[in-house]
Amino acid sequence: MENRKRHEALNWASSFLKEKEREPEAGELLLRHVLGDLSRTELLMGLNDTLTEAQQASFEAAVKKHGEGVPVQYITGYEEFYGRRFFVNREVLIPRPETEELVYEVLERAKTRFRDQKEIQTVDVGTGSGAIAITLALENPTLSVSSVDIAEESIEVAKENSRRLGADVRFLHGDLLQPWIEKGERAAIVVSNPPYIPDWEIEELETIVKDQEPMRALSGGKDGYVFYRRFMEELPQVLMPKAIVAFEVGHDQGQTVAEMMRITFPGADVVIVRDISQKERMVIAEIGFSND
């Protein structure tokens, strides 16, 4: 078969992916990757260039893989998050744009609430790829960031990202906040994007998510709240008198998680924050600041 020009290869990929009920735009991302991580502009400027045999074979293999349900990020090996490139594989959840908003909210509140502090003990629970912890550490050097994950395989990915991006983050292996409870350490900021999808709902997820991404990073138990309930037991044992707790939540879980926080921390300022799509996506509690 004659080698295709770039625009012909993209047309083929678009038709193929539509047939497989995948996003046709994925073809462009995959072609840019195969051609050496070109920018979109570079790709478009060379739409009439002919692919080499090796490029065409790699591209077709990648498109077929995605057609079978493998996420683009697991094929390319990375995802962009907060303007940085994070290495990802099947051991970690692919970072989502809405989690960037969680990071932004934490950074803004840290700036306001701890403006005079030289070192702010910060904990990211369930770190996965390390996207939250690493971004916080790089965006605000006064945050002394530790993170934990129950899966050593995930911690290896996070450590690799930390090394590549030059972030100073401590990674611990453990279950939720147990490492801090055991060490008797205290934190001023606790942030987490825990697994929150109810088990029944996982069955309804697209196969590209439920069959590819790690189940431990998705399942929030029977009703989706198992980890939030555990947090309510463990947070009082690790928080400093003045603290911020920030959770990502499912689109219909904000009210319930906010109520859990108000019961656990009477007097705390608890707010539900909507994401860019106007979904209730974050619950944030500021504890012990009422007299400031």
Binding residues for substrate: 193-196
The dihedrals phi and psi of 5, each to the nearest 5 degrees, come to: -80, 165
CA distance 18 to 20: 5
H or E segment and range at residue 125: strand 120-125
> According to the 3-state scheme, what is the secondary structure of 229-275?
HHHHHHHHHCEEEEEEEEEECCCCCHHHHHHHHHHHCCCCEEEEEEC
Contact 168, 194 (CB under 8 A): no
Q: Which residues are annotated as a binding site?
A: 126-130, 149, 193-196
Q: Which residues are annotated as a binding site for S-adenosyl-L-methionine?
A: 126-130, 149, 193
Residues with Cβ within 8 Å of 218's Cβ and at least 6 positions away in sequence, in order, are: 93, 195, 197, 202, 205, 209, 210
The dihedrals phi and psi of 183, each to the nearest 5 degrees, come to: -85, -10
H or E segment and range at residue 12: helix 6-19
Contact 120, 188 (CB under 8 A): yes
